[in-house]
Amino acid sequence: MSDPDKTPTLAAQITPHGIGGIAVVHLAGPDAAQNLARCFANKNKAACAPPTPGEIRYGFIVARDGAILDEVLVAATSAGRYEINCHGGTATVRGVLALLRENGAEIVGPVRMLEEHGSLRGKNAIEREAYESMLGAKSLLAAQHLAAQSEGALSRTLRAVIGDIEAKNYAAAQAKTQRLLETAPFGIALARPPRVVIAGKPNAGKSSLLNAILSYERAIVSETPGTTRDILSGITLIDGIAFDFHDTAGLRRSDLHPEIQGVRRAEAAMAEADCLVYALDGSLAADQTEITALAQMAQNRRVLACLNKSDLGTNAQTAVRLEEILPEAEIRPTSCVSGTGIEELRQAIAAKCIPTRDAAPGEALLFNEKQLSVLLGARDGLLADRPAEDLPAALRGLLESERNS
């Protein structure tokens, strides 16, 4: 049993999980050298000491029974801190971490490791959260903006707001707060790709639409109604921002259990969507039930109506009915055969999810719902005749240093 008063030796995979060429495992702590010595072998596969600080050694990670787990490069970045560069297969990395655990290391996440033995030491909660979001960034644009928050862009602005409030300079505090709120849709979308759900009746061309938006064949396309029964998803970039698209089962009554389950999953996905793209076969007359349901959806969430199959012509009655319930900008004609309207639909989806995207490189951004909620409260407090005395404390709560393992 480990001594609770002793500083633990930690091991963590720093590179993203999944299959890749190289994975980097960090090992750090008072017993790191002894831990690594138990499983590191030189180029001749003979046991040897780990490298000294500033040195890189080629060798092998060897299990207790002598089996070779992987061929590695080990770098000693400082006393008691090592980077093990191994092959990136999931099973390989899992085996290396398991062996380090057997030798006494505690396996942690990358943020915990970097808090105690790396670049996150001394950073506040916002800066650590930004770094963690940056590790999972789906685009270069997201990584760049989140890196700025990890380096203190948002923290500095929040401290400036707190200073203005405490100096009773409420107009300046309100202006800074409002600007932060304007960045929220963009910042949150960078940290968590907006969820876009494609829904509609069977044979409206939903799967073809998903494939066209993603620019590759993710979904099986068939003229047989009800082909799609589960949720199919794919991520693509629109103007450098990642969007998470989901194709759903056709919405209709059915006595078939798999299709019933598919419709239920489709309805659940629609309820969670940041943007709902409702696909209709624009060449056919839409029934009143479908139009009524679409009108109700448009009241409660971001909705775009897609008049699909425009290459077959557009039914005038359907177009008129849609114009009665939706603004013109929210009705997009498309053809997955000719490609007409697909890029315009992508741009309309992006505009629905992210109304403003004018944040400059390095500017402070709100990038999660908790920050948005606190800043909305701050704005309301600043609009009051006398701001609450605990307003600075609420903002400081975002900066408090709490370990995120």
Output the pLDDT for position 228: 47
Question: In terms of C-beta distances under 8 Å and separation of at least 24 residues, what long-range contacts does 386-389 make, across chains too?
Answer: 387/165, 387/170
- Percent pLDDT > 90 in the chain is 54
DSSP notation for 245-265: EEE-------S-HHHHHHHHH
Q: Report the pLDDT value the prediction gives residue 294, as an integer from 0 to 100.
A: 84
In the structure, what pLDDT confidence band is assigned to residue 33 with cuts at 50, 70 and 90? very high
Residue type, 222: S
The predicted pLDDT at position 216 comes to 66
- The helices-and-strands tally (H runs, E runs) of the chain is 14, 13
At 85 the pLDDT is 94
62 touches 42 (CB < 8 A) = no
Cα–Cα distance for residue pair 266/155, rounded to 1 Å: 40
Four-way CATH pick for 195-353: 3.40.50.300, 1.20.1260.10, 3.10.310.50, 3.40.50.12780: 3.40.50.300
With bands split at pLDDT 50, 70 and 90, how would you rate the model's confidence at 3? low
Who has greater pLDDT, 58 or 135? 58
Mean pLDDT of 30-49: 93
Report the percent of the chain where pLDDT is more than 70: 87
- Beta bridge partners, 332, equal 306
- Binned at pLDDT 50, 70 and 90, residue 200 comes out as confident
Residue 39, pLDDT > 90, answer yes
Q: Is the pLDDT confidence value at 398 over 90?
A: yes
Q: For the purposes of burial, counting CB atoms within 10 Å of the CB of 193, is it exposed (0-12), middle (13-18) or buried (19 or more)?
A: buried
In the numeric block, which tokens belong to residue 241?
Answer: 């921002």
Could you tell me where the DSSP H helices lie in 167-302? 170-191, 206-214, 257-271, 288-300
Instruction: Name the CATH code of domain 10-117 (choices 3.40.50.970, 3.30.450.20, 3.30.1360.120, 1.20.120.420).
Output: 3.30.1360.120
Q: Reply yes or no on whether the pLDDT at 1 is more than 60.
A: no
* 319 and 291 Cβ atoms separated by less than 8 Å: no
Beta bridge partners of 106: 10
Half-sphere exposure of 101 (CA within 13 A, CB side): 11
Q: Given a cut of 50, is residue 220 above it in pLDDT?
A: no
**Long-range contacts for 46-55 (Cβ within 8 Å, ≥24 apart)?**
50/74, 50/76, 50/82, 51/75, 51/76, 51/82, 52/76, 53/77, 53/78, 53/79
At 401 the pLDDT is 54
CA dihedral (265, 271, 274, 279) in degrees, to 10, reads 70
pLDDT at 366 exceeding the cut of 90: yes
Alpha-carbon distance of 77 to 322, in angstroms, equals: 63
More reliable by pLDDT, 270 or 315: 315
pTM: 0.75
Structure tokens at 148: 């700025």
At 295-335, the pLDDT tens digits run: 888 887 788 999 999 989 888 888 888 888 888 889 999 99
Query: Over the stretch 71-86, which tens digit does the pLDDT of each residue have?
Result: 999 999 999 999 999 9
Contact between residue 72 and residue 86 where contact means Cβ atoms under 8 Å apart? yes
Question: Mean of the pLDDT values across residues 339-346?
Answer: 95
In the chain, domain spans: 10-117, 125-182+362-399, 195-353
Quick one: pLDDT at residue 102?
Answer: 94
Specify the higher pLDDT residue, 328 or 152.
152
Kindly tell me the burial class for residue 356, based on how many C-beta atoms sit within 10 Å of its own C-beta (0-12, 13-18, 19 or more).
Answer: exposed
State the average pLDDT over residues 96-120.
87
Average pLDDT over residues 333-351: 94
Whether 405 has a pLDDT exceeding 50, the answer reads no
- d(Cα 83, Cα 396) in Å, to the nearest integer? 35
Q: Pick from 94, 190, 110, 174: which is nearest to 142 by CA? A: 190
The mean of the pLDDT values for the chain is 86
